[in-house]
Each structure stands twice: as structure tokens, then as C-alpha cells.
Structure 1
Amino acid sequence: MKYLDEFRDGGLARGLAAAIAREVDPARAYRLMEFCGGHTHAIARYGLTGLLPANIQLIHGPGCPVCVLPVGRLQMAIELALRPGVILASYGDMLRVPGAGGDSLLAARARGADVRMVYAVDDALALARRHPQREVVFFAIGFETTTPPTAVAIRRAAAEGLGNFSVFCNHVLTPPAMAAILDAPEGTRLDGIIGPAHVSTVIGTSPYAFVPERHGKPVMVAGFEPLDVLHAVRLLVAQLGAGHATVGNAYTRVVAEHGNRKAQALMDEVFTVREQFEWRGLGTLAHSALRIRECYAAFDAERRFAPAEVAVTEHKGCECPAILRGAKQPQDCRLFGGACTPEHPLGACMVSSEGACAAHYLYGRWRAA
């Protein structure tokens, strides 16, 4: 297949769903976690759960970068934005994420902070060039997918001598989050994982080998189109039926076993692994995030400004942390669809389009449930 509409062919989707229905064991349950928020969005958009047998449950994972950032790190960004002379550049979704007491970057902007929405880190570099008398801080978030562009920007700032540019680094790593979910004694029982697409283009499929080796669960990397997801589900069902577990690749048109070596080299040059980092829903995980190396310390906003780390609790009624670790579904939250909507989000999972709550609400799947 070459064209996008071929990956959304309804007839082929029904054929795949029928094949899955024939191949499942009706006497067992299949609990499959789609790790990536992009998969959650595709599943809700195309109604894939309605095509699958009732004994296959798709469980949402923590693969939404906006969602997994804890409130304390957001408060640090708000503090940076409120400092005189600072321009804080951020992706749009982060502006609306609720912080302590409902605070947000948008609210900080209303109080006078210079917060700019950018579409890419290059936009933040452009701001630094246009405003040489101001400190421009890029609020960097995301998994391995968005990390290489941040590395390129830091290298470019160093080459140009952009002394007024720095990065507040919140890049996190996928394999440690997978391990945390599978290792948790009280965690969600899973039979297999639909591996992330864009992350895997960077890191490849080999970093997931610990899942079948240590936990005996199969992983199948999948693309974002509906046929991609259904194909991955069928391959996982086949592995489970055969009684073995491996890392598979159902996205071979994009993903290679060892990923993008050039992107990995860029990341390794600019970043190093943090000893520990807090995640919303998963707690503090060892070696699960990146910080800027000493050789690029001049562009590290945490070193330059030393924003205070604060302990902040979630909205007490929000179930976003439990949803991110697969323990609950969006409709299990008493705030969902009532007090908490995309127009008035009370939790991060309702803000980002990759958040499970936003995906369920947008496509109305919760009404059918």
C-alpha cells in the first residue's frame, strides 16, 4: 500500500476484524496496552474497539508527553515565565494544562508573563535572534521523538553564540516507563503491548526486548492508521495463541530494528540520562529522563535560572494519573464529561489531543459505553 486512504479502507478493516475474531480464544481475555497517545487517538477516532471481539480490551498507556509531565515541573515553567525579561516559548497544549490551584501558563500570560506558543523549537531560536536583550527559554517536553530537534537547536545556539537562548528540558524516555508499568506489583495486568510508532523511528525496536525477555509479553510496534493498529492486534493475538513472546514490527515502512543512528548520536552528544525524574501517574522513575550535558550547560535553563522545585498535588478528583498507568478508563473519572471537558480541562489528559480523556470526549466513545 502506498496511499493514506489505503490504510483507512473500511472493507480491509472489517476483514482484519473478522480474522481477529476467528483467531482469538473465546475462553480467554486479551488485555493489550497501546502505549502511545497517538494510537489512543486513532482507536477513538476510527472506533476500533467496536470492531474487535469483546474479549479484547485496549488499555491506554502513558504515551502522552503533555500528560505525563507532573504539576511540579509545570509550576517551574510558570515561575520562569513570570521572571522579568524572560520569554517562555512553549508548544500550544502546555499552555492550557492546569497547574497548582488551576494555574496555567495561559493564566500567567494574563498576569503579564511573556508566554509565546511555538510550533517547533526553531521558532524559539528565531525569537532569541529577534530579541537579543531578552532571555528566551524553550519549554522542551516529549519522548524520544521530539528530543533530536531540541538537540539540534542547542547545537545551533552554541554555534551562533545565542547567549540569550536556553532550554528547560523535560524530555523523557519510553522503555523505563514501560518497565515501570510492567514491574509495578499492583499494576495493570497486561498480555501484550502495541509499541509506539514515532518513538520507534528514533530508537528502533530493540530497546523493547526486555519486555518479552523479562516479562514474557509480546510487543508489536504499529503505525497510526486504523489498519496499522488492527494488524498489530492480530499479530499480538497470534503470538499469544502460539504461546511465545517477541518484539515484532508492524510498521516496517518507517521503523528499523536499530532506529535512526544519526538522531541517537545527536541525543547522546547533547543530553545525558538523569538519575531520576518524576512522572505523572508513574511516580519517580530512575534513569527515565534526560538532562543537558555539562558541555552545553550554558543553554540549560535549570542551571541558568535555578527555578525552585515545588511539591504539588493533582486535583483531588482527577483520575488522570490512574488512566496514564492503565488502571482506569476516562469514563471511570467522576469529572469526565461534566466538570472536566476540553473547553474547561481539570486534568492534563483532557488537554492534549493525545490524552485519553480528550480522545474519548472528542469522538464520543464514552456515550456509547
Structure 2
Amino acid sequence: MKYLAEFQNPDLAKGLLDDIRATVTRPWALMEVCGGQTHTIIRHGIDQLLPDEVELIHGPGCPVCVTPLEVIDKAMEIASRPEVIFCSFGDMLRVPGTDRDLFRVRGEGGDVRVVYSPLDALDIARENPHREVVFFGIGFETTAPPNAMAVHQARKQDIRNFSMLVSHVRVPPAIEAIMTSAECRVQGFLAAGHVCSVMGMEEYPGLAEKFRVPIVVTGFEPLDILEGVRRTVRQLERGEHTVDNAYPRAVRPEGNPAARAMLEDVFEVTDRAWRGIGVIPQSGWRLADKYRDQDAEHRFDVTGITTCEPSACRSGEVLQGLLKPHECEAFGTTCTPRTPLGATMVSSEGACAAYYLYRRLGTPAANREASPVG
């Protein structure tokens, strides 16, 4: 199947749903660890079309949402400085910090610019040699290679006024943290296909074996999701726990060797805080020592900022799959896309934003009449 419409075909979706219904004999809880997959699930009502025995739990798969509050505050501190041009992807500008966001910083006179690539920020640095240009480098393994390339190119081209505020996170340690939680209900994972297209699949078999959970690499269209669910349920019903690639059109077992080589050169693995979750060991990247002079956190000496999450925001529970967005007391009332308490409501990949956008405002029982796939 070569064309996008074929991955949204309702007749093919019905066949997959029928197969899932014929296979499942008991309740199973599956987690997707990708904000893009979450939005596909909610937009097309896939969770409501599945048999009652199959529950989809939304995991910490939104890169904007898991960027810790202290890093947002560091970004605003740097962006407020008159010598700085602060560059970021657009979805970071409305993420709330302790008392403001990057849009507010821009309104107060900060030179905050939206770019579409870290290489755009590098061009701005080249064009403004007397200003400090900082790129906000966040995300999972998918956005890390181009960010690494920008740092590498800045060093290679001797562009000394370019630096990066880094908050990159890695999926496999997050899966381990979820599975070791005392409150964990997850019995199988839909792994993010774009992450595996970069990193490959070698980190997942150990997790599948250790926690005895199937992990199915899954794409992002409705039929991709349903096929991932079908394969996961089949494994669970058979008592199996292996890694399965249901996204072979984009994912090879070894991933992208060139991208991985760039990551190994520019970054090193480190402990990383996840917003609403806490520190997960070895779950992130920071710039390697040889690139330390391009680390904005050290260049602008903002390492000492500490923060406290607002008590009314329960996005941490949403990110851990312990709470569905509409089960939060603030959802849709004091917390909306215009007045977000947390990043899960404002990010284009956030679970709360998906529930609000697609009007998933009531209880699960009230939402059983699903939107059709396609």
C-alpha cells in the first residue's frame, strides 16, 4: 500500500477490528508511547471502536509535554537577554513556565523567533555575528539527529555565536520506568515507528524479555494503529512477549546508521528529568564534552534554576497513563488551550489537547459512539 488514503480505508479497518474481536478473550491494557499515535487514536475514535476488552493507555510520547518546567524557565531566562536571538519550533512558545511563556517573553521585547529547522537557526547565527543565537533543542530520538547536525556544522564552520539549549529524551528508559512503577497496568506497548526508524530496534528485546511484554513497532495512520493493536493482542493471547516490526516500510532493525553515528559524536547519555514524572536514569542526552562550549545552559549560566509544578495540573499522571485527560478536574474548565496549566493541553501532540480538540469531554461511557475511521 503506497498511498495515504489506503492507510485510512474503512473497509480494511473493519477487517482488522473483526480480527481483533475474534482474537481477544480477556482484558488487555496497551500503551502507545507517541503523541502522534495518540492524536490518530482520538481523532478517529480507534479506542472506541476496539472491543471493550482492549484498553489503550496514553504514555509519555509528546516531546513538548515531557520537557521539564525548569528547562522552560531556563529558556525564558536566556530568551529575555538583549544580546540573544532565541530560536524554537513554534509549539514550544505557548508551553507554560512558572509564571509566563515564550510568547510573553517575545511580547516583553525578547527576540524570540520561530524556525522550522535547527539549520535555520544556524543561518540566523551566520547572518548576525554580533548576537548570540540559541536554538531550543528538545524531543525524542527523532529530532535529535538534525539538532546534532546543527551543532556539528556550527563547530565545523566556526560559527561561535551559536549554542543549543538541550532537553532530549530517550524512549526505552521511559518504558522501563513505566514498567517498574507500582501503579503500572501496561501489558503491551505500541512503539513509535519514527523513533525506531532512527535508532533501530536493538534496545527493545531486552525490555520485552525483562518485563514479559510484547512491543510492536507501529506507524501513525489508523490502519497502522489497528495492525499494531492486532499483533500485540495476538501475542498477549498466546502468552508471547517479543519485539515485532509492524512498520517495515519505514523501520529497519538497525535504524539509520548515519543518524546514529552523528548522535554518538555530538551527544552523550545522561539522566534526564521528565515533566510531571521526575528524573529517569540514562533517559536523555546532553552535549558531549567536546561540544560543551556550545551548550547554552553553561554559556549563559542558568544551571541553578529550580521550579515547582502547579498543584492543580495533573499532566504528570496523564503522561504516565494513570489518568485520562477528561478525568482531571481542571480539564476543559480552568485548563484549556487558551489557558493551559500544563504542556499536555497546549502541545500539538499532547493527550489533553487531543481530547479537547476532538471533543472527548465526558466520561468513557458517554463517548462510546465513536467517529468512523477514514
Matched-pair identity in %: 48
Q: Which residue of 2 aligns with 1:264?
A: 260
Structure 2 distance, partners of 1:231, 1:85, is: 51
Equivalent position to 2:134, from 132, 137, 140: 137
Does 2:156 align with 1:156?
no
Q: How many residues are treated as equivalent by the alignment?
A: 364
Amino acid across the alignment from 2:106: R
Displacement, 1:282? 2.2
2:28 counterpart (24, 30, 38): 30
CA distance in 1, matches of 2:313, 2:334: 10
Q: Which amino acid aligns with 2:338?
A: E
Distance in 2 separating the partners of 1:211 and 1:33: 14
Q: What is the match of residue 341 of structure 2?
A: 346
Shift of 1:248: 0.5
Counterpart-to-counterpart distance in 1, 2:304 and 2:188: 36
After the TM superposition, which residues 173-212 of structure 1 pair with which residues of structure 2 at under 5 Å, given as runs? Answer: 173-184=170-181, 186-212=182-208
Q: Is the 8 A contact 2:326 2:360 kept in 1?
A: no
AA paired with 1:105?
L
Question: Contact 2:27/2:53 (CA < 8 Å) preserved in 1?
Answer: yes
| 1:76–1:309 CA contact under 8 A, matched in 2 | no
User: What is aligned with 1:105?
Assistant: 102
Mapping of residues 117-128 of structure 1, within 5 Å? 117-128=114-125
**Counterpart selection for 1:313 from 308, 320, 325:** 308
The runs of at least 4 consecutive aligned structure 1 residues that moved more than 6 Å come to none
TM-score (norm 1): 0.96
Q: Find the aligned partners of 1:40 and 1:63 in 2 and give their Cα distance.
A: 8
Question: Would the aligned equivalents of 2:200 and 2:255 in 1 still touch at CA under 8 Å?
Answer: yes
Which sections of structure 2, spanning at least 5 residues, go unmatched?
Answer: 368-374
Letter in 2 for 1:352: S
Give me the whole-angstrom Cα distance separating, in 2, the residues matched to 1:36 and 1:206. Answer: 19
- After superposition, the C-alpha distances for 1:263-311 in whole angstroms (9 at most, x for unaligned) are 100000011112x221113211111111111222221112211214322
What secondary structure is seen at the aligned counterpart in 2 of 1:202?
Answer: helix
Q: TM-score, normalised by structure 2?
A: 0.95
Q: Which secondary structure does the structure 2 equivalent of 1:168 belong to?
A: strand
Residue 188 of structure 1 aligns to a residue whose secondary structure is coil
- Give the CA RMSD over aligned residues: 1.1
Q: Does 1:4 align with 2:4?
A: yes
Secondary structure of the residue aligned to 1:58 is strand
- 1:108 Cα offset (Å): 1.2
Alignment correspondent of 1:57: 55
Q: Does 1:333 align with 2:328?
A: yes
**Equivalent pair of 2:33/2:191 in contact (CA under 8 Å):** yes
Q: Where does the alignment leave 5 or more consecutive residues of structure 1 unmatched?
A: none
Structure 2 counterpart SS, 1:209: helix
Deviations 1:175-217 (A, max 9, x none): 1111111112x23211100001111101112211122211000
Cα distance in structure 2, aligned partners of 1:8 and 1:241: 26
AA aligned opposite 2:255: G
Q: Output the CA distance in 1 between the equivalents of 2:129 and 2:174.
A: 39
- For the residues of structure 2 that align with 1:210 and 1:349, how far apart are their CA atoms? 30
Distance 1:127 1:354 in 2: 27
Give the corresponding residue for 1:15: 15
Q: Which residue of 2 is the match for residue 240 of structure 1?
A: 236
Contact 1:65/1:143 (<8 A) preserved: yes
Describe how 1:89-100 pairs up with structure 2 within 5 A. 89-100=87-98
Q: Distance in 1 between matches of 2:68 and 2:136?
A: 14
2:209 paired with 1:213? yes
Amino acid of the residue matched to residue 20 of structure 1? I
